[in-house]
Amino acid sequence: MRKKCRKPLLLLAAAASLLLTGCHGAQERSAFEIPEEFDTARQYEITFWAKNDTNKTQTRIYEKAISDFQEIYPNITVNLRLYTDYGKIYNDVITNISTNTTPNVCITYPDHIATYLTGSNSVVPLDDLFADENYGLGGSGVLFDAPTQEQIIPQFLEECRVGEHYYAIPYMRSTEACYINKTYLEKLGYELPETLTWDFIWEVSEAALEKDADGNFSVNGQNVMIPFIYKSTDNMMIQMLRQKGAGYSTEDGEIQIFNDTTKELLYTIAEHVKSGAFSTFKISSYPANFLNAGQCIFAIDSTAGATWMGSHAPLSDISEDKFVEFETAVMPIPQFDTENPQMISQGPSVCIFQKEDSQEVLASWLFAQYLLTNEVQIAYAQTEGYVPVTAKAQESAEYQDYLARCGEDNSTYYDVKIKASKLLLDNVEHTFVTPVFNGSASLRDAAGQMIENVAKSTRRKQTVDDAYIETLYSDVAALYHLDEGQGTLSDGKKADLGPLPTTSVILLATLAAVWVLILLYVVWKAVKKK
């Protein structure tokens, strides 16, 4: 009986193994073999996944880019699929890797790409494509004016490197900015320094808590005031550690974040949460809502979110009658060392998924390159506070004219948006990127989670002391699987990418169940025949 069922059972085990290893376990990378010539006599249909939530202008830019590209290459049809956020793209890619149904071209984050690479030959390494004389960046066989690799801002390209290879090209880049209610700050008796410091931010935020005889906050006359709100607490912790010269992680994934400097930073944050001077997006809501309503002095958010910031912001989640008139200043994030400023650079990148047909992959690469042309880069950068990723686009007359028209209107030339873009352009040499490895996305989440946990615990009047911090370190390491898997902790333990998204787990479990049922049916039929 067992001998008769052995083959079907082996098949069952193999199928289960494939389903489970599709998202975990490092795979060998194989270089993409570039065809000597692109076959223009064939028709190709490629899928392009990108993110857009409410910005219709961005949708039109994608559609125009596709239309213009298809005029140049009429044998390539590009099918656009838009998602509301990058997390959903990540979920679907992870799931589709297991079924070999990934898109051809995808705009995603490098941290996510590192996880995609755990699938079997899922993402195309681009090093050879970058340098190819015919079809590489700016190659002679490319039918449009593409930038060369040297024209991509090196600080932006660096984020696309995983290990020894590039697996993406940058699409747009942003940093974080501190959006300041300058009117209220001056009302409190302060002037903006040339460079913001953490000490200055904390001092002003505490001063803004003073109340009048009626119990309202003196600075705004309202009963609500959160002087300092930070949207991305993971970036907050990462940048504070970088500015302090403290550990976060090594290039190869050694986890260093659980250190004494992190502890000191958490104590400081707890102190200002306790007073009411500081809160986070996850606890209170979008910083822009409080800033625009005159209920915040310092709001730190991405430069890509600049269209939501200020008294005359073209986008808003609050009603017009809630807006308060004030002067908005846009400055780099606060620093510990003003002589050595450090600020993070990050943004969506474009990767290409491996397919059996090398001509199809080449068609995908040509479209990915097209997204780096001046036409696409400048148009997209004008929609939010992103900046183009190529010097070619940044230095163009068209983009320089855009920057020069700052404040002409509250849409295309909204002053806060253009000031945010200039902030990054002027500080590229002060930017850094975090190492990308299998598990880097989980480490990033863990960095923010520690701040969120401390803030919540403080608001609940729990004591934040050494014992609390040590427990926090242990809990967060376990939650994000930083004590097991691929990378290594500073104490020699392993680090992993963390849990799969819930939707991916459900889908993979469903697929596994279906295969099990199919194979059990095969076994039953085989036994019945015997």
How confident is the model over 265-302, as pLDDT tens digits?
999 999 999 999 999 999 999 999 999 999 999 999 99
Q: pTM for the complete prediction?
A: 0.86
Tokens of 40: 């223009």
Q: How confident is the model at residue 490 (pLDDT cuts 50, 70, 90)?
A: very low
Domains of the chain: 29-170+348-418 (3.40.190.10), 176-345+433-471 (3.40.190.10)
Contact 104, 352 (CB under 8 A): yes
The percent of residues above 90 in pLDDT, for the chain, comes to 81
Tokens of 164: 């020894």
pLDDT of residue 487: 44
Contact 141, 257 (CB under 8 A): no
d(CA 427, CA 419): 12
User: Residues with Cβ < 8 Å from 324, sequence gap 6 or more?
Assistant: 220, 292, 293, 294, 311
Per-residue pLDDT tens over the stretch 6-62: 333 333 333 333 343 333 334 445 678 999 999 999 999 999 999 986 678 899 999
d(CA 334, CA 51): 30
pLDDT of residue 26: 40
- Sign of the dihedral through C-alpha 206, 212, 216, 217: negative
Q: Name residue 127's amino acid.
A: D
